[in-house]
Amino acid sequence: MKFLRAWMIPLLILMLIWPGGSAKAESGDQITIFLDGSILQSDTPPYVKAKENVTMVPLRIISESLGAHVTWSSTAKSATIQKEEHELILVMGSNTARVDGNDIALDVSVENINGRTMVPLRFVSEQLGLSVIWNSAAKTITLTTESSNGDTVVLPPQPGSGAGTVTSPSADQEMRGVWISSVSNLDWPSKASYGQIEQQKQEYIQLLDEVEAMGINAVFVQVRPAADSLYPSKLVPWSTYLTGAAGKDPGYDPLAFMIEETHRRGIQFHAWFNPFRASTGSDASKLPDNHVANAHKDWIVTFGGKMYINPGIPAARSHIIEAIMEVVNGYDIDGVHLDDYFYPTGETTKSKFNDDATFKQYNPSKISNKGDWRRSNINSFVQELGEAVHQVKPGAAYGISPFGVWRNKSNDLTGSDTKAGITAYDSTYADVRAWIKHEWIDYVVPQIYWSMSRQEARYDILADWWANEVRGTRVKLYIGHAPYKLATPEIGWDSAEEIISQLEYNRSNSGISGSIFFSAKDLRRNPLGIIQRLTDYYRTH
C-alpha cells in the first residue's frame, strides 16, 4: 500500500495540472467507472480510442484527495513531481515517463478533452497498482485498490450534482495554501485592470503560475470582501474591486473563471467570505440600492469609520448564510472559508459597538453578560452555516481563520502563555474552542503572525497550544503565517529563515496539518528571498 500511495499521488495530481492538448475523443456509448464498488462521478466521461484500442480515463475522479509537490517548467514543457524519495518527470507529448531515472512507456500520450486531462487506462493499472477489469458489453470499468494484506481499500466516491471537487486535504497531504485578498485590490485584481476582462484573467493566471511554482496546492480567494461579490449574485451587488464602481457588472463571471483555471492545475479552490463587514467606509450613498447598508439600514452598525452587519440580529445572520450558500450551490468550490471579521476590535469606554438595543431585543435565553451574548450569536452563525454547507456538499471543507491567540493565561488558566493585547475570545467574541469541541468546523487556521523570538506571543508556544486544542477531535489544524512581516522592524523578521523555521516546527508537531500564507502579494514580492527558500523547502519535504 505504501508503494501504491507513493506513486498514485504524484501521477494523479500531475494529470490534474497537465496543459491542454488538442486530441479529440472518439464517440461512443458512455462508460461507467467503479472504484472499489462505488460509481465515480465525472464531468468528462471515459472513452475508447478506437485506433489504438486504448481506454482513456479522467484521473481527476480518483485523485481528488491526493497530492504531491509538482513544479512545471514552461521552457522545457515538463513537470517534475516529488513524493518522499521518488521523482517522476513527464514531458508534454512524450510517450514515456521518467520514473526514478528509468524510462517507462505510455500506451498513448496524455491528452486534454474539454479542459480535463485524460490518461491511458493501461498506464493507470501498471503504474498505480490498480486492478482493472474492462467489460466491453456493459461498457464498465472496475478499478480495485488493494492494501498490503490483500484487503480491499474502499475510497469514498466524490459527491455528484455540483459537489466540491476536492475535500479537505487527506491524511497524507499537507496543506500549502495562500490567501488571495480582493479587498482594496490587495492581491487580485489590480486597480489597473478595472473593466479589463482579459487583463484581470491574465493577472490571475500569472499569480497562479508564481504560487504554484513555489509549491502551493490551495488558494483561498476572497469572493465576498464587503457584503458584495466577485460573481453574479441575486442577493448582493458586484464588488467595486472589479470595476471601480460598486454594482457594475464586469462583463464575465470572475469566480467561474478562477475556479476553472485553478482546478485545471490540480490546485484546491476555497471560497473566502468576509461575513460581517458591510463596507470599508461609512457612506452608504456610495453603495448600490441593493447593498445591505441601504436595503437593511437597521442591520448596520458604524464603528471606527466602517460599517458592519450586526451579528446580534438573527435575520442578518440568515442573510449572510444565504449569500454564502448561493456560492456553495452554484459553484464547484472545494471549501468555504471565513476570516476573523466577527465583532470588530478596538472598543473603548468612550467608543462602543452600538448593539445595546439588539442585546435587549434579540436575547431569548436572557443572557446577562453582553460578551457571552455576542459569543452566542457567533456560535449560532458558525454552527448553522456549517450545517448548511455540509448538507449540500458533504465533502467540502468548512473552516475559519481566527486571531492567533484564543485567550491569555492571565485571563484564563487554560489559555496560552502569551500577553496579547487582542484575543479571539474577548475581542472578536469568537469562542473558537467551542467550534473545535463541537466539531462545527472541519479545520481551523489561527493567524500566528509572530516570530519564534517574540516573547509576548511566541510562535512555538501558540502552535503547541492550538495543536493541543484540536487533539482528539476531527478538526484539522493549519497555521496562518505572516510573510508580510519579513524585512519589517518587528523582532524576528530579519530573515526568510523565520518562515522556514516555523514550517520545520510544524513538521515536528503531529497535530499540525499544514500552512496558509498571508498573502499572495507578500510571497510574490520576494522579501529577503523567501520565494527560493520556500520553493526549495517544499521541493525537498
**Starting at the edge strand that comes first in sequence, how are the strands of the sheet with 476-477 ordered?**
476-477, 443-444, 397-400, 335-338, 268-273, 218-224, 175-180, 514-517, 479-481
- The predicted-structure confidence for 512-527, as pLDDT tens digits, reads as follows 999 999 999 999 999 9
Mean pLDDT of all residues in the chain? 83
Res. 171: pLDDT tops 50: no
Tens digits of residue pLDDT in 268-315: 999 999 999 999 999 999 999 999 999 999 999 999 999 999 999 999
Half-sphere exposure of 366 (CA within 13 A, CB side): 0
pLDDT tens for each residue of 53-98: 677 766 544 434 334 344 444 455 554 555 455 565 656 677 777 7
Q: Is the pLDDT of residue 173 over 80?
A: no
- Which of 539, 526, 530, 513 is closest to 177 using CA atoms? 513
What pLDDT is stored for residue 112 in this prediction? 64
Contacts of 467 (CB under 8 A, 6+ apart): 477, 509, 510, 511, 512
DSSP 264-323: TTT-EEEEEE--SEEESSS-GGGS-TTSHHHHTGGGEEEETTEEEE-TT-HHHHHHHHHH
* Number of helical (H) and strand (E) elements in the chain, helices listed first: 15, 25
Q: Residue range 177-206: average pLDDT? A: 97
Mean pLDDT of 377-396: 96
Cell numbers linked to 528: 529577503
Residues contacting 385, CB < 8 A, separation 6+: 321, 324, 336, 338, 398
Q: pLDDT value at position 265?
A: 94
The pLDDT, as a whole number, for residue 480 is 98
Helices 497-507 & 459-470, crossing angle to 10 degrees?
30
State the average pLDDT over residues 492-507: 98
pLDDT at 165 over 60: no
Grid cell listed for 495: 530573515
Which of the two residues, 111 and 338, has the higher pLDDT score?
338
Residue 119 has pLDDT above 90, yes or no: no
pLDDT of amino acid 97: 73
Q: Which three cell numbers stand for residue 530?
A: 523567501
Identify the band that residue 170 occupies on the pLDDT scale cut at 50, 70 and 90: very low
- Looking at residue 302, its amino acid is T
> Residue 194 above 50 pLDDT?
yes
Between 240 and 11, the higher pLDDT residue = 240
pLDDT at res. 154: 33
Query: Locate cell 501558540: which residue?
Result: 462
Sorted by sequence, the CB contacts under 8 Å of residue 166 that are 6+ apart come out as 64, 65, 268, 334
pLDDT of residue 32: 72
